Amino acid sequence: MEQALLGFINTLRQHDVRISTSETLDALHTADVVGYGERELLRNALAAALTKTREEKATFHRCFDLYFLAKGERHSEQQQKQQESAHPTQFELPDAVAGDAAVQAALSAPMVQAAIDGNQDAVTMAIEEAAEGVSLDTIRFNTQKGIFRRRLAEAAGTGEFDKAIEVLKAIDEEELAGPIEWLEQQRNTLDMAARDEVEHQLLLNANAAGRAIQQQMLRNTKLSALEGYHLKQLPTLIRALAKKLATRHRQRRRVDRRGKLDMAKTLRRNLAYGGVPFHTYWKQKRKDQPKLYVLCDVSGSVSTYARFLLLFLYSLTDVMPRIRSFVFTSEVYEVTELFDRHPPEQAVEMVNQKWGRGSSDYGNSFKHFVRDFGAQIDRNTTLIILGDGRANSADPGLNELRQLYDKSKYLLWFNPEPRSAWNTGDSEIKRYQSACHFVAECNSLAKLERLLDRLLTVLR
């Protein structure tokens, strides 16, 4: 039973439930305490020990049903089938050959013997043991089915039947036709059981493995190349990436927070205690709060990127300074409030619906931005501009951008176009480059993650 529990934990892991070794030990203890007798009790107890969020609990219950219930049902089904097929004909060996030593040896092989005795549980047990032997739980893809089935059947003992059949055939006696057929039938039953087991395990594993590969792929593909179905999955992935970044950068702040001992102040305040420093005061460098402004092009060609940049940034609010966000096509609109009032995913949708049309006019947009918000840009402000720098052959607004560049701490330009396409056609990115601290290519999640990681490092 322990083996089954470990198998179950493995299944959970493949479904993205994070289970550490110590939790595995907990689960084993838990099972010891509550026993395997009552399913609901075991289910509740394991759920408490193994899962740590509400989502994980839902996954847990799904897997529990799939793993334990399905296993039990399948076995009783199998047994029924075997009983039906086995009962009508009994295995009877003609007396003539019963005494033959070779025949006896072949028939006393454990699996064959079990079949002759009508021991139905033996098949179940053999399959289970064999599954472990060939590490069936590592099966991932449909294409592996054939090889695993063959290995599993062999490990479970089809070979023993083959041997027995061979021995009987070699004797070449007519009366043996019945027993040979019977043995073949038994062999097929075992083979079928192996096939069922492989199918079941694949069902448990395939989804998870597929997802892992898919996520890897999603991170590295160009965002614009993604289609509807994959786009829906991105927010989840972004949240996970953001969480990782946030954890990394939160830890650093902990170290920074305490400053040096402020001797003068400590002595002065502790005069009442005869100079004994009961209360300590710490000198802290007061850092001005950094500010982050994001200006996104949401015209047709780059709106997808704007979406994910905003989504990513707002998933990082834990560690990011306060963000003010703006979008533009031909004019600039502030969308900070939208994000304050709605969850990021919804806000991004609203932005896209409301403004995500038309073609971009950089000159006009920059002019507006400088006029309305330029006064707020100061030495603590980092400004991120997301756009492809294609000014449609109109005024690129370079002077305005230079003003922003001079006033801000950093002016970063994220360009979703691949580097090879920069400065081709109406792209003005080279000229913009002269008025930016940094121009980066950002067209996949992996690149975006790396950029934001660096951004977080410089912001504090």
Partner 1 sequence: MQPTPASTAVTQLIEGFAAAGYIASEAIATTVFLAQQLQRPILVEGPPGVGKTELAKATALHNDLPLVRLQCYEGLDESKALYDWKYSKQLLYSQVLKEQLHDILQGAKGLVESVERLKTFGDIFYSEEFLEPRPLLKALREPNGAVLLIDEIDKADYEFESLLLEILSDFQASIPEIGTVKATTKPVVILTSNNTRDLSDALKRRCLHLYIDFPSRELEQRIVHTRVPEIPESLSQQLVSFIQQVRELDLKKAPAVSETLDWARALLLLHATSLSPELVQSTLNVILKFEEDIQLVSPDIRQLLKDR
Positions touching partner 1 (CB under 8 A) are: 18, 20, 22-23, 26, 29-30, 33-35, 37-38, 40-41, 44-45, 47-49, 51-54, 57, 243, 250, 254, 273, 276, 278, 318
Return the number of the residue (53 or 76) whose C-beta is nearest partner 1: 53
Q: Which is nearer to partner 1, 53 or 220 (CB)?
A: 53
- Reported for 173-182, long-range contacts at CB under 8 A and 24+ positions apart, including other chains, are 173/94, 173/96, 173/97, 175/94, 175/96, 176/94, 176/97, 178/89, 178/92, 179/91, 179/92, 179/93, 182/89, 182/91
Backbone φ, ψ for residue 357 (5° rounding): -140, 175
Q: Which residue's CB is nearer to partner 1, number 101 or number 276?
A: 276
CB of 239 to partner 1, least distance (A): 11
Determine the Cα–Cα distance for residues 118 and 376; give it in Å rounded to an integer. 86
What the block records as the tokens of 261 is: 């001992």
- Cβ closest to partner 1, residue 12 vs residue 86: 12
Nearer of residues 52 and 430 to partner 1, judged by Cβ = 52
| Shortest Å, Cβ 392 to partner 1 | 42
Complex with partner 1: residue 129 or 318, whichever CB lies closer: 318
Q: Which is nearer to partner 1, 31 or 292 (CB)?
A: 31
- The SS3 call for residue 439 is strand
Q: Write the DSSP string, 417-449.
A: S-GGGTTSTTB-HHHHHTT-SEEEE--SHHHHH
Q: Least CB distance from residue 45 to partner 1, whole Å? A: 5
Structure token pair of residue 152: 């599993």
Report yes or no: 383 and 410 within 8 Å, Cβ to Cβ. yes
At residue 49, the 3 state secondary structure works out as helix
CB of 222 to partner 1, least distance (A): 30
**Burial (0-12, 13-18, 19+ Cβ within 10 Å), 66:** middle
Beta strands 291-297 and 410-415 are: unpaired
Is residue 299 within 8 Å of residue 416, measured between CB atoms?
A: no
Positions of E strands within 196-317: 260-261, 282-283, 291-297
Which C-beta is closer to partner 1: that of 258 or that of 379? 258
Q: How far is the CB of 243 from partner 1 (least distance, A)?
A: 7
Which of residues 170 and 240 has its CB atom nearest to partner 1 in the complex? 240
Question: Whole-angstrom Cα distance, residue 81 to residue 124?
Answer: 12
Which helix (H) or strand (E) segment holds residue 19: the answer is none
Report whether 389 contacts 365 (CB < 8 A).
no
From the CB of 315, what's the least distance to partner 1, in Å? 12
Tell me the closest approach of the beta carbon of residue 64 to partner 1, in angstroms.
Answer: 13
The Cα 200–Cα 374 span in angstroms is 63
Residue placing its CB nearer to partner 1 in the complex, 25 or 212: 25
Sign of the Cα torsion 309, 314, 316, 321 reads positive
- To partner 1, the closest distance from the beta carbon of 26 in angstroms equals 7
Instruction: Give the residue from 19, 92, 31 showing the smallest Cα distance to 60.
Output: 19
Closest approach, Cβ 29 to partner 1, in A, equals: 6
Report the nearest approach of partner 1 to the CB of residue 394 (Å).
45
